[in-house]
Amino acid sequence: MKTKTISLAASFRDPSGFLFTREGVLYRQVNQAYADDYTRLMESGLYWKLVKAGLLVPHTESDIQPADEKRSFKVLCPERVPFISYPYEWSFGQLKDAALATLSIQKRALKTGMSLKDASAYNIQFHRGKPTLIDTLSFETCKEGEPWVAYRQFCQHFLAPLALMAYRDVRLNQLLRVYIDGVPLDLASQLLPGRTRWNLGLSTHIHLHASAQKRYADVAVTEARGGRKMSKDALLGLIESLRATVRKLEWKPAGTEWADYYAANHYTGFAFEHKKVLLGDWLSKIAPKTIWDLGANTGFFSRVAAETGAYVISSDIDPAAVEVNYRQVKESNEQNLLPLVLDLTNPSPSIGWQNRERDSFLQRGPVDAVLALALVHHLAISNNVPLERVAEFFAGCGEWLIVEFVPKSDSQVQKLLRSRVDIFTEYTRAGFESAFGQWYTIQSSSTVRDSERWLYLMKR
């Protein structure tokens, strides 16, 4: 009997192989065309070196039937990354670390006579808290005298958005949502401030690069090169130059809406502690394996959740809060918590070829449990979403819900209402319970001590 095999839509471009799932297990077929490069990757020691450094996802070779037998050389079973995230969902530090990881991989590859044939940001995923290459078929044997074929892609996927975030506005990483193959360099060059021309790395890798692309747009590569060759030292020099340029780019989270939320005094330490205890109790009762903490700020309660052993996506709309969150992941070497930038009123759509290359945020669910702490008033009042629609959205994300109701009398809601007419007659605790009751049954509820807030545990 033939079991169902599904080819994944994200990996159709590369003739070296492709991903497929069978009975829920992820496999990667290596095609005959890639046999030599794969063998070299494994036998040169590069594979182990990268896996040991946490830079490449490990795999085992499998003897299951290939998905496309005619072309198959081997089938690999890669270690599965718990959640696939995309560069337009990363904070500045995450994109920067992914860029540096790519360069570090390329440097090690060059030293073993191999080279990355692509430098796509989508090939990097945060695995056990660190940026890791997931595409085992990205390597090729280095051809004597040849330049780095993925140089342009590296500049578009990493350098251009990082420079724009550092020098213009941190929100410009959202350009990656529009341009799936990275920010066009002529656009980056125009948007960057003039002073970046005094930065040697940016003036060459972005500005000069953009002009050269324009000037040589209609010239064939072989003609443009005129037989010039590139030595191995030159290739390493290029990587060093890119690395120095990326390292110098800095962005500090400050002065935005949420980054100093916990520092500001919203409700007492008692309430905060009580919320933590309630959350811990309920989570240990329902024991979810996967959690989405939506509107997580800098991830305080995500960490309470991660301590139960669950894998937690800790999302927030504020890039500064996510940056603070990510820095803590790095500092404490947290492996089961992934901070992401996400606007819940317009979550990541599915994009790319046939709208199927990159999944929407919701397609990457559902999870076992959703946390929505101090979030509902933002969706219901700031964004005019009726409470039953908020409940419907959460219900689509997961079976369990831990949700906080913040009444109108709370200073945070008062702040939201200050600049507008209060049209929210349904926004009461009774209205909230009845709206959420259409999608959930309330399993448990409690006031949050020393506050007027309520915490609920609900099941779909």
Partner 1 sequence: MIWLYLDPGSGSFLVQLLIASIAGLAIIIGASWRKIKRLFNKNKVLNDESDDEDEDD
Residues that bind partner 1 (CB under 8 A): 13-16, 49, 52-53, 104, 107-108, 117-118, 143, 146-153, 155, 204-205, 208-209, 211-217, 219-225, 228, 230-231, 233-238, 240-241
Give exposure, 209-231, as e/b (b: 16+ Cβ within 10 Å): bbeeeeeeeeeeeeeeeeeeebe
Closest contact distance (angstroms) between CB of 41 and partner 1 is 16
The answer to whether residues 107 and 45 touch, using CB atoms and an 8 Å cutoff, is: no
Give exposure, 21-49, as e/b (b: 16+ Cβ within 10 Å): ebeeebbbbbbeebeebbebbeebebbeb
Q: Which one, 150 or 376, has the nearer CB to partner 1?
A: 150
Closest contact distance (angstroms) between CB of 55 and partner 1 is 10
Closest contact distance (angstroms) between CB of 53 and partner 1 is 5
Q: Which one, 220 or 430, has the nearer CB to partner 1?
A: 220
Q: Which one, 35 or 208, has the nearer CB to partner 1?
A: 208
Closest contact distance (angstroms) between CB of 47 and partner 1 is 13
The single residue listed with the structure tokens 């991989």 is 105
Closest contact distance (angstroms) between CB of 59 and partner 1 is 19
Q: Are strands 25-31 and 5-7 parallel, antiparallel or unpaired?
A: unpaired
Closest contact distance (angstroms) between CB of 219 and partner 1 is 5
Q: Which one, 32 or 411, has the nearer CB to partner 1?
A: 32
Give exposure, 325-354, as e/b (b: 16+ Cβ within 10 Å): bbbbbeeeebebbbbbbbebeebbebbeee
Q: Which one, 158 or 400, has the nearer CB to partner 1?
A: 158
Q: Which one, 62 or 104, has the nearer CB to partner 1?
A: 104
Closest contact distance (angstroms) between CB of 249 and partner 1 is 17
Q: Which one, 217 or 264, has the nearer CB to partner 1?
A: 217
